[in-house]
Amino acid sequence: MTELRSSEWYAGDDRNAYIHRAWMRRGVPSSAFEGRPQIAIANTASDLTPCNSHLDEVAAAVKNGVYEAGGIPLELPVVSLGETQVRPTAMLWRNMAAMATEEMLRANPIDGVVLLGGCDKTIPSLLMAAASVDLPAVVVPGGPMLTGHFRGEALGCGTDVWRLSEEVRAGTLSEEQFLKSESSMIRSKGHCNTMGTASTMALVAEALGTIVPGLAGTPAPDARLLEAAHETGRLAVQLVADDRRPSSFLTKANFHNAIVALAAIGGSTNAVVHLLAIAGRLGIDLSIDDFDRIGAQVPLLVNLQPAGRYLMDDLYRAGGFLAVMREVRDLLDPEALTVTGKPFVDYLEDAKIWDADVITLRGNPLQPAAGITVLRGSLAPGGAIIKPAAASPHLLKHRGQAVVFDSIEDFHARIDDPDLDIDADSVMVLRGCGPKGYPGMPEVSNMPLPQKLLAQGVRDMVRICDGRMSGTAYGTVVLHVTPESAAGGPLSIVQTGDWIELDVRAGRLDLDVAADELAARRPNQATLEGYAAPRRGWERLYVDHVLQADQGADLDFLVGASGSQVSRESH
């Protein structure tokens, strides 16, 4: 084994080594400072991130494994983001969490790290940090919650909130019944049980190779999660001995496999921005077009909400993620290595489907081509995305007139106005919701439909926005329009009444307005007033430096890596 990084703090007889050791002793044996790998456990447990609140228990299991393998486990609480609690949107803070974690891993005497995440932004921010500090790192995903039931029916986190609330607005469900379902929605510890962003990012992180294969998707209350956490603690010590860093095994091939996985599971559109951001940290040339090129023809094999019917503990029972990946094995890159040192495809041999209604066979997919489709055209020169698996087939090719909202407040103020001139063929456009505009690119693109149309039985319409959409949401929603309105994209000058053409199969999103007329248009005052203009703090830094969605919405100065070197001693 090469010299441990932590020995720069602990080795030697000088005053500084004395200080570093002395303050850490507090019951720790002297052997802790004599060449044993120091393993941080970057822990996003927080009472305000309820999906991750059980991670202290997981951390304890990791600690046992680290000790057992001869390492020293050190818990490092890191910035945590509770998707449902944090305003204006957890995405605004993803890069801050990533930056803070990266810096604390670098600043401290550690040799490797186990990353504990769960709720939507936590695994992405941890992986971005690990990639930029490039120390040996492995993820333990906190796992999904168990399925709750209401009136005899399974409740899908998020997805059923959208569905039930639409039913209330349509008048087919009483408010009383709606509120009654609230206490059944979250049955246990763990993250959302739909194929939302948390589930997606755990499975995709496993396909990427950053989780011990077979672990992702283990329900949070399942005893096997703690067993795997223990084993991952042992592995972390081995990673240091082997000097296996993110940069030593993560290549474009790993991202290829992640994109295949994303399509086969019908995963969240949010994975696109997260994977682009992680790749950016690693210097891997990944573009939104790779999602289309690699993923668009991959069949949908997982029958989970929002695209299908079941929930995450059903997926685990039915054979789990590896059984899904085995069905698309021929589409995977066999060269891509995992954090264990073995190729991902090596783990697929024994995987088996036990319930072909939850995980369908390749020959009988839920949809033949499920990946994310990239759209370009005069309304999205830098690209936009749509998830056809969650859209209505009859709207995938559509021409309609725009009904434009300048901000989310404008939307809420007018959407249920009985006089609003809108019908089922209209195209709802919401702007000012991109990374800079909101700020933070919130999950507002799946705008609720107008009450009067819901009452007529309309359940989907074409919606276009520069924001994101919850991974638990569904509908014919064009997202991540780039450049965003606040960055001067054509979205900023669309007017109500303009004709818009969407053609998903052709990959087109066009504004049917004469070029000379467009060139003469300027954003109106209400549009400009809808953009965020923070004066100080993180929001100011963010708005000044955030990149567009097609580049992962990272900050420009956070792209790439700095490694683990620190320039100076503290005394």
Among 10, 83, 156, 324, binds ligand FES (CB under 6 A): 83
* Residue 444: contacted member of ligand FES, Mg ion, none (CB under 5 to 8 Å, by partner type): none
Report d(CA 504, CA 198) in Å as an integer. 26
**Crossing angle, helix 320-327 and helix 252-264, to 10 degrees?**
100
84 lies in the binding site for ligand FES (CB under 6 A): yes
* Residue 102: contacted member of Mg ion, ligand FES, none (CB under 5 to 8 Å, by partner type): none
**Residues in region 444-473 near ligand FES by CB under 6 A:** none
Give whichever of 6 and 197 is closer to Mg ion, judged by the CB atom.
Answer: 197
Give whichever of 262 and 481 is closer to ligand FES, judged by the CB atom.
Answer: 262
Decide if 530 contacts 437 (C-beta within 8 A).
Answer: yes
Distance of CA 332 to the CA centre of its chain: 21
* Residue 406: contacted member of Mg ion, ligand FES, none (CB under 5 to 8 Å, by partner type): none
**Residues in region 298-327 near ligand FES by CB under 6 A:** none
Give whichever of 120 and 498 is closer to ligand FES, judged by the CB atom.
Answer: 120
CB 201 to ligand FES: min, Å: 9
516 DSSP assignment: H
Find the farthest-apart pair of alpha carbons in the chain and give their distance in angstroms, rounded.
Answer: 80
Give phi and psi for 470, each to the nearest 5.
-55, 140
Structure token digits, residue 20: 């570093």
Instruction: Count CA atoms closer than 13 A to 435's CA, side-chain side.
Output: 26
Give whichever of 199 and 527 is closer to ligand FES, judged by the CB atom.
Answer: 199
* Residue 510: contacted member of Mg ion, ligand FES, none (CB under 5 to 8 Å, by partner type): none
Structure token digits, residue 141: 């995903």
Report d(CA 182, CA 178) in Å as an integer. 7
Among 59, 86, 92, 119, binds ligand FES (CB under 6 A): 119
* Residue 277: contacted member of ligand FES, Mg ion, none (CB under 5 to 8 Å, by partner type): none
205 lies in the binding site for ligand FES (CB under 6 A): no
Report whether the peptide linkage leading into residue 439 is cis, meaning its omega lies within 30 degrees of zero. yes
Decide if 422 contacts 403 (C-beta within 8 A).
Answer: yes
120 lies in the binding site for ligand FES (CB under 6 A): yes
Give whichever of 162 and 347 is closer to ligand FES, judged by the CB atom.
Answer: 162
Residue 368: how many other CB atoms lie within 10 Å: 9
Decide if 476 contacts 202 (C-beta within 8 A).
Answer: no
Question: H helices of 218-353, where?
Answer: 223-242, 246-249, 252-264, 270-282, 288-290, 312-317, 320-327
Residue 180: how many other CB atoms lie within 10 Å: 12
**Residues in region 141-200 near ligand FES by CB under 6 A:** 157, 191-192, 196, 198
Per DSSP, the three-state class of 292 is helix
Residue ranges in contact with Mg ion by CB under 5 A: 83, 120, 197, 470
Report d(CA 391, CA 250) in Å as an integer. 33
Count of residues touching ligand FES (by CB under 6 A): 10
Give whichever of 120 and 550 is closer to ligand FES, judged by the CB atom.
Answer: 120
Among 51, 311, 312, 464, binds ligand FES (CB under 6 A): 51
**Residues in region 350-409 near ligand FES by CB under 6 A:** none
* Residue 119: contacted member of ligand FES, Mg ion, none (CB under 5 to 8 Å, by partner type): ligand FES
124 lies in the binding site for ligand FES (CB under 6 A): no
CB 12 to Mg ion: min, Å: 48
* Residue 470: contacted member of Mg ion, ligand FES, none (CB under 5 to 8 Å, by partner type): Mg ion
CB 84 to Mg ion: min, Å: 8
Decide if 59 contacts 94 (C-beta within 8 A).
Answer: no
- Positions touching ligand FES (CB under 6 A) are 51, 83-84, 119-120, 157, 191-192, 196, 198
